[in-house]
């Protein structure tokens, strides 16, 4: 499983979240989409890496701009979420 998080510029409300979730969810190979409005990010889950150009096109189709990939650094416990066991 591959998880990648990208910055999304221009989101301001719940409608933005819905639009990005819907369009990114249509990308071939994407199995999960989580949009974080507060941080302006979208996390994409897939079985194999998805071409960033496809994610970019989906975000643009939703009416926003992809700001780039966000590198998540391990936190306490040696994992991305601090639980000690990443998904």
Instruction: Give mean pLDDT in consecutive 10-residue pieces for the chain, a chain of 87 residues.
Output: 95 97 98 96 96 96 91 45 42
Domains and CATH numbers, the chain: 2-78 (3.30.70.100)
Provide the pLDDT for residue 68. Answer: 81
- If 0-12 CB within 10 Å is exposed, 13-18 middle and 19+ buried, where does residue 62 land? buried
Q: Is 23 exposed, middle or buried (0-12, 13-18, 19+ CB in 10 A)?
A: buried
Q: What is the per-residue pLDDT for 69?
A: 82
pLDDT given for residue 70 in this prediction: 82
Q: What pTM was estimated for this model as a whole?
A: 0.79
SS3 62: helix
């Amino acid at each position: 499983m591959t998880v990648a998080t990208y910055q999304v510029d221009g989101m301001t409300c719940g409608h933005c979240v819905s639009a990005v979730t819907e369009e990114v969810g249509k990308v071939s190979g994407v199995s999960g989409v989580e949009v974080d409005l507060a941080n302006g990010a979208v996390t994409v889950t897939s079985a194999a890496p998805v071409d960033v150009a496809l994610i970019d096109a989906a975000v643009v189709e939703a009416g926003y701009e992809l700001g780039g990939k966000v590198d998540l650094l391990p936190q306490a416990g040696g994992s991305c979420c601090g639980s000690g066991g990443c998904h």
